[in-house]
Structure 1
Amino acid sequence: MLSVSPSKSSPRSPSGRDSILNKSYKGGVAMNSKVKNKGGKTNYKPYVSSALYNANKDKDRDKDGIACER
Structure 2
Amino acid sequence: MDHSNIVAMFEMMDTSSKGTISFVQYKEALKTLGLLNKDEVLIDDGHIITLDKFRAEVCIRPASPQASARKF
More helix by share: 2
Same fold (TM over 0.5): no
Q: Please classify the TM superposition score into its range, dividing by the shorter chain length.
A: under 0.3
Whichever of the two has the greater Rg, that structure is 1
With normalisation by structure 2, the TM-score equals: 0.26
